[in-house]
Structure 1
Amino acid sequence: MDTIYALASARGRAGVAIIRVSGPAAFEAARKLTRGALPPERQAVLRKIELDGEILDEGLLLLFGAERSFTGEAVAEFHLHGSIAVTGAVLRAMSTIPGLRPAGPGEFTRRALENGRLDLAQVEALADLIDAETEAQRRQAVRVLSGHIGQRVEAWRGRLLRAAALIEATIDFVDEDVPVDVTPEVREIATALLDEMQKEISASAVAERVRQGFEVAIVGAPNAGKSTLLNALAGREAAITSEVAGTTRDVIEVRMDIAGFPVTLLDTAGLRETDDHVEGIGIARAIERAGQADLRIFLLENRADVLPMTPEEGDIILLGKADLWEDANILSVSGKTGQGLDRLVERIGQQLSGRYDGEPLLIRERQRLALMDAAASLKVALAWLSSYDSRVELVAESLRAASRSLDMLIGRIGVEDILGEIFSSFCIGK
């Protein structure tokens, strides 16, 4: 296997830059670029980095054996001064060493997968952790990266193997009297597993929203102050404000962090009857996006206003022009003065937090589909167990199919066609 190298820290000027080398020639590369004996594994030492007698930099050298490295193979790390010139010079020096080549996107992590250091769910979580913008995204990615999915899958597979062994025993001894009817135990195992999997499938929708972000739409009549409110929440002039009705004709989006959740605020066109064709298109888009949003904020000018859409459970109804209201019990806000903004942000955070109950196991659509396949196979097994002419060989095959789907969930089988897409999203040094 080739030995690969790449800058593992961010490009550009920094206090420290890290270049990682992984593969069978990693320690030899360290010998050629430093003087003296190699240090003990996992012990940082100060070394001059040089090639053909020319000193390129002075930094730390760290070595990791295959059994204790990220990639599952020998790794050398050079912690250098983080200048563009230094990293460029060291990378050029590595290109002259036989057996070394630059790493491709995500190649270090791919080797960790191939060498059994990570399963596919952990690889996906690592990508999510690198991309995490909010606290909720970080917590979710760290939990999966810690191996929670793999541990749960192994427990499920163990129970499936028990059920399959019981069924296959009846097949192996079909011509003999089996002393115990195994059907009740197999049915109990399959029913319990199906219940657990369905709960995880139901919870996965919210986990996916944490990855991609929740959408919160601001809905109201023209001139209700929606754009002013959006600007106040965003802390900048994201939307044009005007006293002319119909100024907002398309959906304006602003990304925010609210209570640790990634949120995209949507400023929609004012909802009203109109003969203006272009404004009508904007209103139709507003209704469609608001209907698809995870949460809607209905901004009214007074308590007598009729809601332009039917609110769903959890939607927020508030009055604008909070500086004109004296009743503290009324949820109101002023985009101009900022009054009531803290209460509104708190309410949004409460609504989103209430939907993110517990710790969902699945965080990607691929994982959800794999578990849905496993659940479907369990349903088939239970159906055959309950049929009048119970076909134990079909029950056994359905249990094996459920186990294969779980193996696909963690990347043990049948995922080669999607690996390129997954690793293409990684940076070169990861």
Structure 2
Amino acid sequence: MQAGDTIMALSSGALPAGVAVIRLSGPGVRDSLDLLAGGVPPARQMVLRPIGSDRVLDRGLVVFFPGPHSFTGEDCAELQVHGSLAGVKAILASLGAAGLRLAEAGEFTRRAFENGKLDLLAIEGLGDLLAADTEKQRQQALARYDGNLSAEIDSWRETLLDLRAEIEARLDFSDEGDVSAALPAHWHDQLSELEIALAGALASVESGRIVREGIRVALAGAPNAGKSSLLNALAKSDIAIVSDEAGTTRDVREMPLDIGGQLFTLIDLAGLRHADSRAEAEGVRRAHQQIGNADIVLWLQAPDITNGARPESAARLLSIGTKADLGMIDGVDLSLSTETGAGLDALVDRLAAMGDAMGGGEPALVSHERDRQNLQQSLAALQETRSALGDWELAAESLRHASASLERLIGRLDPEQVLDRLFSSFCIGK
């Protein structure tokens, strides 16, 4: 990325389309509008203009956003034109001839960060919002993008500043008579409240992760227990091959499913048994691995086959009696039949209830592994502060470490590596 360049990109969907949106940002936006759109329109007002310099390439709506009050903090503009492949190519070529270059992935958003329009948390929320498939993912991402977590962290940082001020006053003015050696009672109360707040946020990371990444549901059981049939029934499509021959499924197959606004990823696994075939044995090994990593395990048992022992797993486990049209199995949590559809709605309702419990009520503001790491570091630093109160320098240093972890979470310290990884997943026009 080259600072000072004026960048352009098609920020709408693939062409052809009804409308194409071309975004511009940088110091050359005004000159580009003078050249291609007959002048700079009034700020934030859409005007219909012919687009082109020496000839009309298209007619469309033009809107200008002067910096610093724009998404990137620079002068920005959007050209909303017809979604013709030839038309968009011609307009981009004309802008390129005028000195603009194509933006890199995430470059508009990176400029917003560098110009102080968005912090790192808001940018991550924007990335999550662009990738959201379900209603709960949308709610969670929007809360992060809107700055709710940033505001929470700002309040924690203010508390840390107050705590540090008391400690550093004892370092700087230890010989002054009006500075007590003992810390006031409210200092200890503030420290305790901050520890509770950070611990509460840390405890919600897992529920936030579940909403953001989805709940992984492993379909496990002996060969021919009905795993692939259940996957097809829930998907309402013939995704998996179903056969009476044992060992048909040899690899892991995943299918996303939206249940009540929560993303579930159903994982069809090889049947669990001793296998002579090396290919099937590898499938069984992968099945055990997926069971260990799953959030929920559906243990399928059928009346017409020999069912093995349940897998040892720390995940939530539901025992499902399949092929209920052939006979019932005692001691299971639910019975169903993919042939008749009986019990499928009950299973979906059960999964939805489990998803609500695992994802929590309100959208969790923390959901990334980076959140977990920095919150853990900050909380550990506060605990070190407690044990170091006999040494003011060590206590002050521990509080500085706690502050640095929160600064790193917002992106005010060491953001480059995180930004490079984050923006590589953004689309070009964002």
> 1:306 deviation in Å?
6.4
| Whole-Å separation in 1 of the counterparts to 2:289 and 2:372 | 26
Which residue number in structure 2 is paired with residue 361 of structure 1? 365
CA 1:368–1:176: 2 relative to 1, 3 Å: same
* Aligned residue identity for 1:22: S
User: Which of 269-278 and 362-371 deviates more?
Assistant: 269-278
| Whole-Å separation in 2 of the counterparts to 1:326 and 1:220 | 16
CA 1:326–1:393: 2 relative to 1, 3 Å: closer
Which residue number in structure 1 is paired with residue 425 of structure 2? 425
Q: Is the 8 A contact 2:297 2:315 kept in 1?
A: no
Among 17, 27, 30, the residue aligned to 1:27: 30
Q: Is the 8 A contact 2:249 2:269 kept in 1?
A: yes
Q: Is the 8 A contact 2:292 2:313 kept in 1?
A: no
| Whole-Å separation in 1 of the counterparts to 2:310 and 2:378 | 43
* Aligned residue identity for 1:138: R
Q: Is the 8 A contact 2:210 2:358 kept in 1?
A: no
| Whole-Å separation in 1 of the counterparts to 2:189 and 2:209 | 31
Q: Give the unaligned 5+ runs of structure 1.
A: none
| Whole-Å separation in 2 of the counterparts to 1:362 and 1:61 | 38
CA 1:15–1:321: 2 relative to 1, 3 Å: same
Q: Is residue 118 of structure 2 the alignment partner of residue 114 of structure 1? A: no
* Aligned residue identity for 2:123: V
Q: Is the 8 A contact 2:374 2:405 kept in 1?
A: yes
1:72-221 correspondence runs (5 A): 72-98=73-99, 100-178=100-178, 180=180, 181-182=182-183, 184-221=185-222
| TM-score (norm: length of structure 2) | 0.92
1:28-427 correspondence runs (5 A): 28-35=31-38, 38-52=40-54, 54-98=55-99, 100-178=100-178, 180=180, 181-182=182-183, 184-302=185-303, 307-310=309-312, 314-324=316-326, 331-357=334-360, 358-385=362-389, 390-427=390-427
* Aligned residue identity for 2:14: R
Q: Is the 8 A contact 2:292 2:314 kept in 1?
A: no
| Whole-Å separation in 1 of the counterparts to 2:363 and 2:178 | 43
* Aligned residue identity for 1:8: S
How many residues of Structure 1 are paired with residues of Structure 2 in the alignment? 422
The sequence identity of aligned pairs, in percent, is 43
User: Which of 66-75 and 251-260 deviates more?
Assistant: 251-260
User: Which of 177-186 and 156-165 deviates more?
Assistant: 177-186
| Whole-Å separation in 1 of the counterparts to 2:254 and 2:260 | 18
| Whole-Å separation in 2 of the counterparts to 1:326 and 1:416 | 59
CA 1:46–1:274: 2 relative to 1, 3 Å: closer
> 1:417 deviation in Å?
2.5
What SS does the corresponding residue of 2:216 show, helix, strand or coil? strand
| TM-score (norm: length of structure 1) | 0.92
Q: Is the 8 A contact 2:303 2:327 kept in 1?
A: no
Q: Is the 8 A contact 1:210 1:262 kept in 2?
A: yes
CA 1:221–1:126: 2 relative to 1, 3 Å: same
* Aligned residue identity for 1:405: S
Which residue number in structure 2 is paired with residue 3 of structure 1? 6
* Aligned residue identity for 2:56: I
Q: Is the 8 A contact 1:366 1:409 kept in 2?
A: yes
What SS does the corresponding residue of 1:215 show, helix, strand or coil? strand
Q: Is the 8 A contact 2:64 2:76 kept in 1?
A: yes
Q: Is the 8 A contact 1:2 1:23 kept in 2?
A: yes
User: Which of 257-266 and 145-154 deviates more?
Assistant: 257-266
| Whole-Å separation in 2 of the counterparts to 1:105 and 1:281 | 38
Root-mean-square deviation (Å)? 2.2
> 1:275 deviation in Å?
5.0
Deviations 1:181-216, CA, capped at 9 Å, x for gaps: 325333322222122112211211232232222210
Q: Is the 8 A contact 2:17 2:83 kept in 1?
A: yes
* Aligned residue identity for 1:291: G
User: Which of 71-80 and 129-138 deviates more?
Assistant: 129-138
* Aligned residue identity for 2:19: V
Deviations 1:26-45, CA, capped at 9 Å, x for gaps: 1221111122x532211111
What SS does the corresponding residue of 1:427 show, helix, strand or coil? coil
Deviations 1:277-322, CA, capped at 9 Å, x for gaps: 5434333322221122000111122499664224657422221123
